[in-house]
């Protein structure tokens, strides 16, 4: 019976393979010759991508305590997984090549090899246990917040991050007492500024949908769920910029929801803190920036807060000045818009999607050595370094610059509120005024 079956099978397989190979050879022999080359090129491209140096979101270049813990764990795990993968696929390849059907007779069929079966259970179990023990240890260590030195609230919304710095009971912020002004909550966005060598606890939530906070070089990711508070430890000894990306799909502009963490030496952080708490100063009267302040009040302040801004138009009596308070919850679905008090103290805008610095100035900051990084960052955005092109484009038509469902007429389900900055139909003169005004916000 076996002989008969083998005989039939041999004839069928042989003839089938021959037909298939002949067909391929006849149809496209050149393509067949290209396959190994293409496979080698794709493999090389994948392998060489690991050599990239300009990779700001590389988990293999840890720069923080918790990121280092993750890195120390992932090395042995990946190594183990790699060895297992090579062994499995190697054995599979040997089996396929060596024992493929060449017309030989059917080997003797047996059933049951207890020793092999026990080994196939025991070996994976030992490997998994060996990986699980340090993994659980690292997971527990990452959740540790006992020795927090600085608390910062993080709130995600479509599609940017807001940071507000808590004033501690002793009147300090992150352990730093303001030099001149009284301590008050600092609200900023896009760039999170933290002091070096400080254990920072991010206390995060979301205003609309689930977002996920991830600065790969400083720690793992953490989902931010509306109605809940989640925490994430960040710390780094090395001053610099650490880039991140929202890692939970959160809508149309999810890919444009970026963030950067700025690590400053303590002295530089003190300077940053004092600068943030400086009282508001109006532009000099008669200047383009002064006109921009008026334009800002009429066009922007209903959503964007600038702390200390007062509306003194139409009155000479200082007692009649009205503090300008934004009410973004009436216009924006998430209920918030970035606080622009010290916009030009940051390097980015629109959810860290666009640079406020020109490429050259940006490179000066990003590529600065840790020793000089703080000074360059604190210089903020100067007139020479302003990336005016993109800022102007943004003010001219922000929905065209970043997809945001910003057309209120299309949003019946949000009661007319936009998801992001809508088109404001600003004139070129108004844009000039606003840029001049914003340039002084640092």
Partner 1 sequence: MFTTGAKLLLGATVASLAGTVAYGVLAEGTMGTIGLVSATVALATLAGIVIFTRDANVFADEPDTFDGAAANAARPGASMWPFALGLAATTMTLGLVTYPAIFILGAILFVAGIAEWILQAWSERASADASHNAEVRSRLAYTAEMPVAAAIGLGIVIYSFSRVMLGVPSKTSTIVAFSIVATIVLIVGAIVGANRSITAPKITALFAVSSVVLIGGGAVSGLNGERDIHEYETTAYFAEKDECGAEKTYADKHASQTVAGKAGSVEVILNPDGRLVHRKPGDEVDRVGAMQLPRSNPNNLLFRNETNEDRRLVIDLAPDYEGSPPRICSMLVEPGGVQWLTVNFAVPSFAPEITEIGGYRFQVPGVDTADLEVVVP
Q: Which residues bind partner 1 (CB under 8 A)?
A: 145-146, 148, 151, 153, 155, 162, 164, 166-169, 184-187, 201, 203, 205, 207, 225-231, 305, 307, 322-323, 325, 327-330, 334-336
Closest to partner 1 by CB, 70 vs 150, is 150
Strand 258-264 versus strand 240-245 pairing type: antiparallel
DSSP secondary structure, 227-292, as one string: T--EEEEE--SS-EEEEEE--S--STTGGG-EEEEEEE-HHHHHHHHHHHHSPP-PPPTTSHHHHH
Closest to partner 1 by CB, 222 vs 258, is 222
Minimum CB–partner distance for residue 331 and partner 1 (Å): 10
Judge whether 258 and 214 are in contact, CB under 8 Å: no
Closest to partner 1 by CB, 235 vs 307, is 307
Look at residues 335, 157, 387, 153 and name the one whose alpha carbon lies nearest to residue 253.
157
Judge whether 414 and 422 are in contact, CB under 8 Å: no
Minimum CB–partner distance for residue 122 and partner 1 (Å): 38
Minimum CB–partner distance for residue 170 and partner 1 (Å): 8
Look at residues 186, 137, 188, 124 and name the one whose alpha carbon lies nearest to residue 161.
188
Minimum CB–partner distance for residue 207 and partner 1 (Å): 5
Closest to partner 1 by CB, 134 vs 231, is 231
In the three-class reduction of DSSP (H, G, I as helix; E, B as strand; rest coil), residue 187 is classed as strand
Sheet containing 160-165: give its strands across.
186-189, 160-165, 150-157, 200-206, 230-234
Minimum CB–partner distance for residue 165 and partner 1 (Å): 9
Closest to partner 1 by CB, 274 vs 390, is 274
Peptide bond into 159 cis (omega under 30): yes
Closest to partner 1 by CB, 227 vs 314, is 227
Closest to partner 1 by CB, 183 vs 435, is 183
Minimum CB–partner distance for residue 201 and partner 1 (Å): 5
- The backbone torsions φ and ψ at residue 164, rounded to the nearest 5 degrees and listed phi first, read -130, 135
Minimum CB–partner distance for residue 180 and partner 1 (Å): 19
């Amino acid at each position: 019976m076996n002989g008969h079956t083998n005989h039939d099978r041999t004839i069928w397989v042989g003839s089938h393979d021959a037909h298939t190979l002949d067909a391929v050879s006849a149809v496209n022999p050149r393509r067949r010759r290209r396959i190994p080359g293409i496979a080698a090129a794709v493999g090389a491209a994948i392998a060489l991508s690991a050599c990239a140096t300009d990779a700001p979101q590389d988990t293999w270049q840890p720069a923080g305590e918790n990121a280092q813990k993750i890195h120390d764990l992932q090395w042995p795990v990946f190594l183990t997984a790699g060895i297992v993968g090579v062994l499995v696929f190697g054995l599979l390849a040997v089996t396929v090549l060596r024992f493929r059907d060449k017309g030989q007779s059917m080997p003797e069929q047996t059933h049951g090899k207890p020793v092999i079966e026990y080994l196939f259970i025991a070996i994976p179990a030992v490997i998994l246990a060996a990986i699980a023990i340090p993994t659980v240890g690292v997971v527990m260590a990452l959740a540790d917040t006992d020795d927090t030195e600085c608390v910062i609230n993080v709130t995600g919304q479509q599609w940017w991050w807001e940071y507000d710095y808590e004033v501690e009971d002793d009147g300090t912020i992150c352990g730093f007492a303001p030099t001149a002004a009284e301590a008050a909550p600092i609200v900023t966005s896009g760039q999170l500024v933290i002091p070096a060598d400080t254990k920072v606890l991010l206390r995060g939530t979301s205003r609309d949908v689930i977002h996920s906070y991830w600065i790969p070089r400083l720690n793992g990711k953490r989902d931010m769920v509306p109605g809940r508070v989640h925490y994430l430890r960040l710390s780094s000894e090395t001053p610099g910029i650490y880039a991140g990306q929202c890692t939970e799909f959160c809508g149309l502009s999810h890919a444009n929801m970026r963030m950067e963490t700025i690590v400053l030496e303590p002295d530089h952080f003190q300077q940053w803190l004092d600068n943030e708490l400086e009282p508001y100063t109006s532009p000099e009267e008669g200047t383009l920036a002064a006109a921009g302040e008026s334009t800002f009040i009429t066009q922007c302040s209903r959503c964007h807060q600038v702390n200390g801004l007062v509306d003194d138009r139409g009155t000479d009596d200082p007692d009649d000045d009205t503090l300008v308070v934004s009410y973004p919850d009436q216009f924006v679905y998430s209920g918030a818009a970035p606080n622009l008090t010290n916009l030009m103290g940051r390097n980015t805008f629109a959810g860290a999607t666009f640079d406020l610095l020109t490429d050259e100035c940006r490179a000066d900051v990003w590529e600065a050595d840790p020793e000089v990084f703080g000074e360059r960052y604190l210089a903020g955005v100067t007139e020479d370094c302003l990336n005016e092109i993109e800022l102007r484009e943004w003010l001219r038509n922000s929905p065209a610059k970043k997809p945001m469902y910003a057309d209120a007429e299309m949003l019946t389900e949000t009661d007319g509120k936009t998801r992001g900055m809508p088109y404001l139909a600003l004139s070129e003169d108004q844009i000039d005024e606003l840029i001049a005004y914003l340039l002084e916000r640092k």
